[in-house]
Structure 1
């Protein structure tokens, strides 16, 4: 995969560190990485393309034309933007091209007319906190289904807490012969973050020195010019530094760090106590009690700006310095898990694949059939089609160029076992719920006649021999009949053990139904069961994640799910097929616009 990361910046930011972490791990996975930015401060792998993405006006138009040619010439598969300036460029660079654009946002977005007029954020948006997601939906009407909260990938190995109970590892030699506690304030020179750190110093430095006469105070502001550095060092009579190569190593030697966002996380993982002061809020020391709130506002950086509670900061600082204890080990392990680089990168690969497939085919029609009968039925739920109607449908698919897929095919494309260029432009998946014997008797001969694949969702408990949830008492397929179905045409998915509603059950009961039914069916047919159909189409917010946890690659709903099929593999939208659905109705239900139309019509 050939990935272009795009940034617009003139100084080191968290966005650049984020892109750097991703690109390092992507190269290890065999990707080719390119980077476009005004300037770079990290040693990125791959080719660096210096472009002023922070530019506006005529310069931006020149950049857009240049980048459009360059992307075509270099066969870029996907563009990942990490700043507003990059989004403003690449929205137009990629206009009309079959190249997806992913955007990662680290903070609130400034309101503008163009953002409300155009969704400049591309095909998929990842945000580092929930509050950013809420703002995009509320203020810019971005489709919530294409926004995902993904934390910063942090590869720092958690530091070892000091063996000395007095915490000497976080103290430095003092000229008077005493061990001096070491305090670092770290952030970016430009913007509100640096201003708030300087405001804190002006207000409280004298108080800190009275409370702790031997306190060693240091200020680290990335992007700080040398003249500014000297002025601040003279003004505060402290050690002031701009961009440093090994900030993590410095943080590890400190008693307390005042920081926000990514730096706050890295410091705590290094074994250092942290006071969270971001460009929006002061959160205090990172503790179990405020950890969820810290996740939601990216450790103080996201949200409406609040005044700094200077007295409270000093009170918290004094408490940490006097206790001189390392961070709670369970808290550090929790942060390691949440910010796991490997986990974040794995998820990005999924997002990339999904975005590429969506560009190839935005619509994936998944149709839900039940019974196929030689004549009409008295079924109260109308869950049947006649053989005549079903053959009419198969002729429609052939005439209009649809390609029927199994979920196995979808898996092969998703995981790169088959090239994306082979993904059909008009895919369709035919599914049959419950596993009726009439699927074998009446549907299979027609599927064989027209060479169309289908998926049957069968029950795994073979004591359930007929349909007790709909009138007609229809017989279900026996285990022997399921096993004998030709795998080239019929794929088997799970419909649970006994067709029971799952939302009313506990997590343990649901997991038992999901995993046990998968295991029994796989044992029967000797193949992997990749997909689950929720009985009655009835789900709650737990079920998609429990289906994922149970080892399914896909799960299907009934008339619900995200507008774009690849946005949630465990909540795929299916369309009900009824006995009266003729060619016009089928044309509508397989149209690219139908899913969005259906969801909006029902207020989703």
Structure 2
């Protein structure tokens, strides 16, 4: 993929580090990467162009937009990623009328300007770095929730350097304790630093003779005046015990020599990942000492930097901060292995880069294929109607009528695996069918082999068949267990399943044993999901990229488990987004019944059907 990053870089903020990290990862993977920012001297293998992106004068914005537009056309850029509001503005203008998607990462709360609601400057997909920011964008900025993707900032945790830092720490802290405030000293962060200098640090320095306090970060000259006054008093009273470091490129080194860090955002993440205790204090809130139990709540606010809703007061109680700091310094406790693992897993740079790349692919497909793609859900294809209460069959004769109808209307069946190849650029978008349709079949009944497969081959079609990971399940035992009067329906044997692989079908996972996942403990449901993918890939020797929720039963935790198991897509039943790319983990499928008519087939395969269904059913 050919990727352009646009960002403000008048100073080296966390957003700049984030953009450079992505550029490094994608360059290493062989993607083409370009950067446009305020400087062309950044440490990156990507091609750099200099433009004053942070200059918000209208004339300069237009010139920046013209430069980006020319670059996009000349280098055949496939996606533009903006990393600040100013970058989103100029990128939005540059891409008007082009079929190139814009993705924006939002690192903080957005000012609620009139232009925010008048112009959709953030583009096709918006990455929010924490849960509070997702809520803010949806509730206050009024952004469509379907375009918001929650992906945290990624951190490259270097294990080898970590061991070296631990050795440094053992030597250093035998002599004294060090408390470090790490962050910017302007804006909201500067106000917090000023409060600490006035109300917290003096008492601690007097109470703990072995304590040193380090101030690490840029923009010290913009510290509020009351902070500068307090700083001068502390320097006069405590001398070298107050270490005014300023901007530093050696944050890992300072973390190694620090007992307790006060900070937010990227600073807190890096500190916890390095095993340093953190009091999370940001521009929005004070989250306190981060522990395994408080990690999720602290991460939701980006460790104090971002509130979900606008608040009339941004004040914090510095007496509480003083008490918490005093308590920790009296009995320092190492960061637990559990917490360190939580942090490293959540903010792993490779995982984050992969998810951002998926967001590019999603935005690209949403732009190239704007209409709803019908995904039809079938089960049994018997010779004659079975004696069942469940209307989950279409007879062989009627199913052939469906196929004839699809051909007549020039619908082109594809698989989810095909779709992903177009999204990843492995197949050219110019060859994406004008009228795609995805035919899916759940459970793997024996009549799928005897009736379905020959008919599909006759028409030259392929589909997606969702199988159980437990190959010892040989009939619909879940139906029979629920109702002993339900007739037994045989499932395919192994050679029959292998015939679908040989015919080029996509094999999807449908759990190990077909339970209703929402009724199981999460750990048990997760095992059903993970093992089904592992077993199907092992036995059938084919990639498994999509998952079907039995009974269509799902929730957010199950969707997260499906994603964590390595599935690219999760398909639902009668629920999901208006477009496949609204939520890849809850793809809307259309139920197919025994007596579909030409008019119902027309309706269910039309691009407007999803909107009609929501209007009629309210979901």
Counterparts of 1:196 and 1:446 in 2: how far apart (Å)? 70
Counterparts of 1:156 and 1:518 in 2: how far apart (Å)? 29
Compare 270-279 and 543-552 and name the one that shifted more.
543-552
Q: CA deviation at 1:310?
A: 2.1
Match of 1:319 among 313, 319, 327: 327
Instruction: Give runs of aligned pairs for residues 386-535 of structure 1, distance below 5 A.
Output: 390-413=399-422, 417-440=426-449, 442-458=451-467, 460-461=471-472, 463-464=474-475, 473=487, 475-476=489-490, 478-479=492-493, 481-484=496-499, 487-488=502-503, 490-496=505-511, 499-507=514-522, 509-510=524-525, 513-514=528-529, 527-535=542-550
Q: CA deviation digits over 1:241-276, x for unaligned, max 9?
A: 543222332332234332211112223444444332
1:49 aligns with 2:64: no
Counterparts of 2:214 and 2:61 in 1: how far apart (Å)? 39
Match of 2:172 among 163, 169, 174: 169
Match of 2:586 among 571, 577, 585: 571
| SS in structure 2 at match of 1:249 | helix
Q: CA deviation at 1:419?
A: 4.6
Instruction: Name the counterpart of 2:80.
Output: 79
Does the 8 Å CA contact 2:553/2:572 hold for their aligned counterparts? yes
Instruction: Name the counterpart of 1:279.
Output: 283
| SS in structure 1 at match of 2:407 | helix
Structure 1 residues 16 and 403, CA gap change in structure 2 (3 angstroms): same
Structure 1 residues 493 and 27, CA gap change in structure 2 (3 angstroms): closer
1:200 aligns with 2:170: no
Instruction: Name the counterpart of 1:344.
Output: 352
Counterparts of 2:540 and 2:272 in 1: how far apart (Å)? 50
Match of 1:250 among 247, 254, 263: 254
Compare 201-210 and 556-565 and name the one that shifted more.
201-210
Instruction: Name the counterpart of 1:222.
Output: 218
Q: CA deviation digits over 1:437-491, x for unaligned, max 9?
A: 5545554454334322223345644531797589995854542544445843654
Structure 1 residues 313 and 492, CA gap change in structure 2 (3 angstroms): closer
1:26 aligns with 2:41: no
Q: CA deviation at 1:94?
A: 2.2
Q: CA deviation digits over 1:364-390, x for unaligned, max 9?
A: 321112345678888655444466654
Counterparts of 2:524 and 2:228 in 1: how far apart (Å)? 65
Instruction: Name the counterpart of 1:361.
Output: 369
Q: CA deviation at 1:306?
A: 3.2
Instruction: Name the counterpart of 1:543.
Output: 558
Structure 1 residues 461 and 327, CA gap change in structure 2 (3 angstroms): closer
1:259 aligns with 2:270: no
Structure 1 residues 551 and 264, CA gap change in structure 2 (3 angstroms): closer
Structure 1 residues 268 and 443, CA gap change in structure 2 (3 angstroms): closer
Structure 1 residues 290 and 520, CA gap change in structure 2 (3 angstroms): closer
Counterparts of 1:517 and 1:199 in 2: how far apart (Å)? 54
Q: CA deviation at 1:81?
A: 1.6
Q: CA deviation digits over 1:499-535, x for unaligned, max 9?
A: 5433323446545655666677667755455444333
Q: CA deviation at 1:18?
A: 1.5
How large is the Cα RMSD of the aligned pairs? 3.8
Structure 1 residues 133 and 511, CA gap change in structure 2 (3 angstroms): closer
Structure 1 residues 32 and 495, CA gap change in structure 2 (3 angstroms): closer
Instruction: Name the counterpart of 1:176.
Output: none
Does the 8 Å CA contact 2:440/2:465 hold for their aligned counterparts? yes
Q: CA deviation at 1:168?
A: 5.0
Does the 8 Å CA contact 2:422/2:429 hold for their aligned counterparts? yes
Which segments of 5 or more consecutive residues in structure 2 lack a partner in the other structure? 236-241
1:598 aligns with 2:598: no
Q: CA deviation digits over 1:27-84, x for unaligned, max 9?
A: 2222222222234784233122222333143432333233222211111121112111
Q: CA deviation digits over 1:221-257, x for unaligned, max 9?
A: 4244599999776565355454322233233223433
Structure 1 residues 204 and 102, CA gap change in structure 2 (3 angstroms): same
Q: CA deviation digits over 1:520-562, x for unaligned, max 9?
A: 7667755455444333323344433444555655432111123
Compare 539-548 and 66-75 and name the one that shifted more.
539-548
Give the number of aligned pairs. 596
| SS in structure 2 at match of 1:5 | strand
Q: CA deviation at 1:492?
A: 4.4
1:91 aligns with 2:92: yes
Q: CA deviation at 1:192?
A: 1.0
Instruction: Name the counterpart of 1:174.
Output: none
Does the 8 Å CA contact 2:6/2:35 hold for their aligned counterparts? yes
Structure 1 residues 599 and 62, CA gap change in structure 2 (3 angstroms): farther
Structure 1 residues 594 and 180, CA gap change in structure 2 (3 angstroms): same
Counterparts of 1:462 and 1:180 in 2: how far apart (Å)? 64
Structure 1 residues 249 and 601, CA gap change in structure 2 (3 angstroms): farther
Counterparts of 1:241 and 1:427 in 2: how far apart (Å)? 60
